[in-house]
Amino acid sequence: MRLRKALNDKLLAWKMAGGVRQTLAGILERGGRNPMVVIGFTMIVIIISIALLAPVLPIADPTQQNLEPGQQLLSPSSENWFGTDENGRDVFSRVIWGARVSLTVAMVAVVVSMMIGIVLGLTAGYFGGKVDYIISGTIDLFWTFPPFLLALAFAAALGAGLMNVILAISISYWAGFARLMRGQALSMRERQFVEASRALGARHWRLMFTHVLPNCIAPLIVWASIGVADAITIESSLSFLGVGTKPPTPSWGWMLSSGILYLGNAPWISTFPGVTMVATILGFNLLGDGLRDVLDPRMKGLRR
C-alpha cells in the first residue's frame, strides 16, 4: 500500500510537470511569432551565455588589481575594452563577472519567491474561507511595502553577502506571486474540469497541483520574467547602497557606486556596467511584456 502510494505520488509529480510542459510548449510556439519576445529572449540568451562562459573566456581576472603607476583609470583601448578602474582592474571582465552575480541573485530570488508565492497563493485561492483570510492578510501586509524598501530593511538587518541578498529579495518579492496565484486559483477552482475531477474521486492536493496549477502557469511566467528585471534592479540598488554583495565580488551596483567618484575623468567605470544592466533589464522586460501580449486571450486571434 505504501509502495503504491509512493508510486502514485511520483506519477502525480510527473503529471504536473506534463501539464506545465504543455503550457510552456504553447507559450514557446506562440511566442516565437512575437517580435518583442524574440528580441527579449535573444538578448537574455546572449547575456546569460556570456556570463556562463566567463571562466573560459580569455579575459582578465576581475579581482586582479594592478597598482603599478599608470595602469589605473585607463580609457577603453584594444587592451582593456571597457578601460580600467581606480585599482587598475579590467572593467570589461568585471562587467561580465558582475553579470554572473546579478543574474544568479535575481533568478534564484525569483524562483524562491515564486515557490513561496505558488504554495501560499494556491492554498489560499483553492481552499478559500479562513485559510484564505489569513494568507491574504499576510500577502497584503507584505504588499503594502515597496519591494525595494522591504529588501533594503532585510538586507540591512541580515548584513551584506550573496545569500543574504537572495533571502532579502525573496522575502520582499513573494507577495506579488502569491496574489497572482491566489486570483488564478480562485477562478480555476470553479471551473468544471476541477469539479469533474472531484466528482471522479480526486483529492485536494491532486486537484491543486495537477489541475489548478498547470492551468495558472502562463501569467506566472510573465510575472517571473518581469520579476527577474525587478530583482536585478533591487540587487544593484542594494549593492549601490553598500548592503548587497560584498566587494571584491564584482557587482554592477557596486561598480556603479564606486565609479561615481571618477565620473568626470573616467566615466567608463560607471557607464559600462550601467549600460549592460539596462540591456539585461530591457531584455527581461521585453520578454515579459511580449509574453503578456501573447498570453492575453483577447490578442489570441490577432496573433495567430
**Interacting residues toward other proteins by CB under 8 A:** 4, 7-8, 11, 15, 18-19, 22-23, 128-129, 191-193, 195-203, 206, 210-211, 214-215
How far, in Å, CA of 70 to CA of 83, rounded? 12
**Residue 80 contacts by C-beta under 8 Å, 6 or more apart in sequence?**
60, 74, 90, 91, 92
CA count, 13 A, side-chain hemisphere, 268: 21
CB of 227 to other proteins, least distance (A): 23
Alpha carbon separation from 20 to 76, 157, 234 (Å, rounded): 47, 37, 29
How far, in Å, CA of 202 to CA of 200, rounded? 6
CB of 19 to other proteins, least distance (A): 4
Q: Which is nearer to other proteins, 94 or 206 (CB)?
A: 206
Residue 161's Cα: distance from chain center in Å? 18
Q: Which is nearer to other proteins, 89 or 211 (CB)?
A: 211
Peptide bond into 248 cis (omega under 30): yes
CB of 1 to other proteins, least distance (A): 9
Q: Which is nearer to other proteins, 99 or 218 (CB)?
A: 218
- Radius of gyration for the alpha carbons in the chain, expressed in angstroms and rounded: 23
Q: Which is nearer to other proteins, 4 or 298 (CB)?
A: 4
CB of 193 to other proteins, least distance (A): 4
CB of 136 to other proteins, least distance (A): 17
Q: Which is nearer to other proteins, 33 or 203 (CB)?
A: 203
CB of 297 to other proteins, least distance (A): 12
Alpha carbon separation from 102 to 89, 111, 166, 209, 273 (Å, rounded): 19, 14, 10, 31, 11
Q: Which is nearer to other proteins, 18 or 32 (CB)?
A: 18
CB of 214 to other proteins, least distance (A): 5
Q: Which is nearer to other proteins, 3 or 302 (CB)?
A: 3
- Evaluate the CA torsion angle 86, 89, 93, 99 in order and state its sign: negative
Q: Which is nearer to other proteins, 100 or 211 (CB)?
A: 211
